[in-house]
Amino acid sequence: MSNSASSPPDGAAVSRHRHRVAFFETDAMGVVHHSNYIRHLELARICWLDEHDQPYRVYAEQGLHYATTHLEIDYRRSTGFDDVIEIAAWLDWVRGASMCIDYELTCEGTCVATASSLHAMVNREGRVRRIPKERAENLKGLALRPGPKVL
């Protein structure tokens, strides 16, 4: 992933998912519990695939999943009940069986978190599989940069 996964870089294929914070996402500090942002990233990935690749539902029907193999997230500001968080997601790179997605979460225009996730394509048994050729070609055309030589 990039060292400074900040605002979507020029040329990135970006999707923006808007999420209104539910009360059940808050914790006793009065803010959104940090574990929920990990779920917001998933919502944004699903949205990104919808808009730029194919619905995740189609992958799932084919018995394929993008298992999460690495996550990192910087929390910059807290958010609270009823805030609307916009999660921008874009494809950083893709390789034969893996990809990296970067994210910026904003609330009323202020960055509240940045994140990056790695995914490996797996089948129903959890074994790593190459991304289907057609999908891989499409994704390569959308990636911001070539994938690392070694994962």
* Contact residues for its own copies, defined by CB under 8 A: 22-24, 26-31, 33-35, 38-39, 42-43, 46, 55-57, 60, 65, 67-76, 78, 80-82, 122, 124, 126
Q: By C-beta, is 33 or 130 nearer to its own copies?
A: 33
Amino acid present at 144: L
Q: Return the SS3 of 45.
A: helix
- Whole-angstrom CA distances from 138 to 48, 56, 66, 67 are 13, 15, 16, 19
Cα torsion at 51, 108, 10, 136 (round to 10°)? -30
**Catalytic residue list contains 83:** no
CB 119 within 8 A of CB 68: yes
Amino acid present at 15: S
Minimum separation from the CB atom of position 20 to its own copies (A): 9
Minimum separation from the CB atom of position 122 to its own copies (A): 8
Q: By C-beta, is 11 or 63 nearer to its own copies?
A: 63
Which position among 27, 74, 83, 92 bears the catalytic label?
Answer: 27
Q: By C-beta, is 106 or 117 nearer to its own copies?
A: 117
Q: By C-beta, is 70 or 145 nearer to its own copies?
A: 70
Minimum separation from the CB atom of position 8 to its own copies (A): 21
Amino acid present at 148: P
Minimum separation from the CB atom of position 10 to its own copies (A): 26
* Token reading at 10: 């020029």
**Cα 118-150-129 angle, rounded to 5 deg:** 60
Active site residues: 27
